[in-house]
Amino acid sequence: MGPRGWREGTSGVAAGLALGWRYHRGKIYLFSAQSQPWAAAEAACAVTHAHLASVTSAEEQAYLAREARGGTYWIGLAATGPGGSWRWTDGTPYSPDSR
């Protein structure tokens, strides 16, 4: 699963970091070793008030690739919009040119 991006207040970030989440530029991420299908991974994220990561810049993509250390992880991009258009699960607008 993961990486999961989580946007919370300061106390939420501190709690997340204590549980193994990693902070980067205003977001925290969890690189989970649990293997599961995409929908189950997104559902597991929702339980913690999070989503699979939305990759919205080249810098964020580079960070995630570096932290993944060669592992394979889900991201929160799905073809769930009108006509099968791509959308981030957290509602962040998708633009193929933003990365």
Helices (H) and strands (E) in the chain, counts: 3, 6
The verdict on domain 4-88 having CATH code 3.10.100.10 is: yes
For the whole model, what pTM was predicted?
A: 0.76
Look at residues 82, 22, 91, 66 and name the one whose alpha carbon lies nearest to residue 4.
22
Look at residues 63, 51, 60 and name the one whose alpha carbon lies nearest to residue 98.
60
Name the pLDDT band for 59 (thresholds 50, 70, 90): very high
Span 10-54, pLDDT tens digits: 455 566 665 677 888 888 898 988 899 999 999 998 988 889 999
